[in-house]
Every structure is written in C-alpha cells, then in structure tokens.
Structure 1
C-alpha cells in the first residue's frame, strides 16, 4: 500500500523513541499493531464484499444467459413439436376419412346382401372354417397300417420317388429303356 523503505522505518522508530520514551514505546507499538491489524481486516472484508458483489453480478449474468438459452431451446422444441404434429394430425384425419369410407362400403355391402336375401328368400350358406390338419407322418403310417411293398420303384432309381403327373421319358411303351 504505502511505499516505505527500511531506512524510513528506522528513522520513524528513532523519532518515536525520543518523543514517546523508552517506557511507553512497547505499549504504543502494541496499540499501533492492533490498529494496523484491524485496518487490514477491514480492508480484507471490504475486498471480499466487493468480490462477492462481482461474483453475484457474474452469476446473475450467467443466470440470464442460461434463461435465454433455455427459452431458445424451449421455442425450438415447440417449433419441432408443431412441425411433427401437423403431419400427425393430417394422418389422423386421413385415417378417420378412410375409416368412414370403409364403414360406408361395409354398410352398402350389407344393404346389398340384405336386398339379395330378401329377393331370393333363402338363407345364404354360412362359411364355417375347418381346422387345418397336418398330413400323416411316416411313423403314423407304420403304426396304423404297414405300407405295401413294391418289388421295383417306378423310375428304376431306388433313391427317387415318382412325381404324380410326370412320366419317365427314358422308358418306352414296352417298358425297356431306349
């Protein structure tokens, strides 16, 4: 703070020793030390208060920037939501129109069917779905009834089975290969 050199401090100490005297000089030095300490604490408190105010201003500026950023993100999200909502609304409207169209077609088909029924006065046959059955497996055939054995396969090759509707072109009408 003050630019005081060592020689200047020695000069002040010698003058204080002459003016105050050797008996009261330690008491005055102690009092001056307490006053300087209080002044330093006061200056430190003022510095910390100023620093807190500066930090508070920086925090409030930062808070303002964050609020602006949050507002811009919110507005962009609202824009994106509205841009996505428009096609969704159009799709829902088209779906409702298609549903209404299908319902009208079903109603007109029912009306046509009722008109045909009343004209013929006969009840149409009801379609009753039949359960699908799986073809019997080889183990089921052997358990229920043994398969008839043939002495010779139709195609002459023991590893192949003949396909229905196809004839072997290697055999002639007499049964001998050409």
Structure 2
C-alpha cells in the first residue's frame, strides 16, 4: 500500500500540529486512524471476495473438465461395445451358451456322440 518513512511521518505530524493546533490534533488523528482502518478493512474484504470468486471459477473449470472426461470415456465405451457387436445393437444381450444334455447315467452328450464316439462319465471328484 502506501509507504511512509519515519521522516515523512514526523514532517506530517508537525504540519498537522501547526495547521490544527494542539486541541484539535488528537481528534483529527483518531478520525484519520478510523478512516485508514475502514479503507484497509474494505480493501481486505474486496480482496477476499475476489479470491473466493477465483476459487469458484477454478472449481467450475475442474468440474467441466471432469464432465468432459466422463463424456469421452462414455463415448469410448460405446464405441468399444459397437465394435464388439457386429450388428451395432448395443442394447441386445449376448446369447447364452446352450447347455449340453445329460442322460440318466450322468453322461454328458456331446457332438462326438452323434458321430459314434464313446461318451465320457463326468467325474465328481474334481480331478486334476
């Protein structure tokens, strides 16, 4: 703010003493001090308000960047889903694999059964 050296302050006090006189000088000094305090308080409140606004703007900018990244990630995910499904229908569920039929003896029928190969018995021991 304003820089006043000690010499300038003494010169200002002497001029004020000569102009105002010894009776009015203390009242004038109190008034000047109160005015300076109000100016400083006002300046500090303006500075704090500007800093708050800058913080709000920074938060808004970060939120917009996060939303943009989320939209980009969603678009990338949608594109990946379109590539995985050749018909381009992202809402259609993937077909479930068909279960192999099992006869009464616990033997699983396979495509090899149709060709005449011997069926294998499923082990309940968990082997391997």
TM-score for both structures, normalised by structure 2: 0.62
RMSD: 2.7
- 1:6 equivalent to 2:6? Answer yes
**Structure 2 residue matching 1:66: 3-state secondary structure:** helix
Paired position in structure 2 for 1:30: 30
Matches within 5 A, 1:90-105: 92=95
Query: Which structure is higher in RCO with an 8 Å CA cutoff and minimum separation 6?
Result: 2
CA drift of 1:30 comes to 0.8
Structure 1 stretches lacking a partner, 5+ long: 96-178
CA distance in 2, matches of 1:18, 1:93: 102
**C-alpha separation between the residues in 2 aligned to 1:65 and 1:28?**
55
Count of residues in Structure 1 that have an aligned counterpart in Structure 2: 94
Normalised to the residue count of structure 1, the TM-score between the two structures is 0.46
Aligned to 2:82: 82
CA distance in structure 2 between the partners assigned to 1:59 and 1:52 by the alignment: 11
Deviations 1:117-161 (A, max 9, x none): xxxxxxxxxxxxxxxxxxxxxxxxxxxxxxxxxxxxxxxxxxxxx
Paired residue secondary structure (2:22): coil
